[in-house]
């Protein structure tokens, strides 16, 4: 079944492209969720007219993602964690911790968009990649510091 994508669909295609999918996937998932329409002659003609609108929408999304990337790349996050000998952490700093620290800075980023190959398990300064859009990414500096204990 050929469908025209109305939105970007991960691992399938970008907005406005005509793709060939399994009949069940098209009828039961893409079309009911308004992610695609069937690629018949009427819809193909209509999509030609809407292509300009789709391009404008896509450019706005990329522009806002680039603005967010500039904002994010200027941020240095400071995360305090308990640590033991040799600066090893008790536990680790995960993408969820980084997302929470970003939200405290006023930037809402989904934790799934933060690319950590593995959780941070030592004190130090790390550069973490954040994928804001499939074409736009930014780097955030994360400083993991030893937590100051309340005992004095």
The predicted-structure confidence for 21-52, as pLDDT tens digits, reads as follows: 999 999 999 999 999 999 888 888 787 777 77
Task: Examine the domain organization and report whether 139 and 75 are in the same domain.
Answer: yes
Q: Are 72 and 138 in contact (CB under 8 A)?
A: yes
Last-in-domain residue among 36, 65, 94: 65
Per-residue model confidence as pLDDT tens digits over 88-140? 888 888 999 999 998 998 888 888 889 888 889 989 999 999 998 888 889 99
Task: Return d(Cα 94, Cα 54) in angstroms, integer.
Answer: 36
CA distances, 105 to each of 16, 50, 75, 99, 110 (Å): 36, 38, 8, 10, 14
| Pair (61, 80) in one structural domain | no
């Amino acid at each position: 079944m050929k469908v025209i994508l109305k939105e970007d669909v991960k691992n399938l295609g970008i907005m406005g492209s005509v793709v060939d999918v399994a009949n069940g996937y098209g009828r039961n998932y893409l079309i009911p969720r308004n992610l695609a329409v069937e690629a018949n002659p009427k819809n193909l003609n209509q999509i030609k007219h809407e292509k300009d609108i789709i391009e404008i929408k896509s450019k706005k999304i990329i522009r806002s993602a680039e603005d967010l990337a500039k904002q994010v790349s200027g941020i240095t996050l400071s995360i305090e964690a308990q640590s033991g000998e040799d600066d090893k952490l008790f536990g680790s700093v995960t993408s969820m911790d980084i997302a929470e620290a970003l939200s405290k800075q006023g930037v809402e980023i989904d934790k799934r968009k933060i690319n950590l190959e593995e959780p941070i398990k030592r004190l130090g300064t790390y550069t973490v990649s954040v994928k804001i859009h499939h074409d736009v990414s930014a780097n955030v500096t994360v400083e993991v510091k030893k937590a100051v204990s309340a005992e004095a």
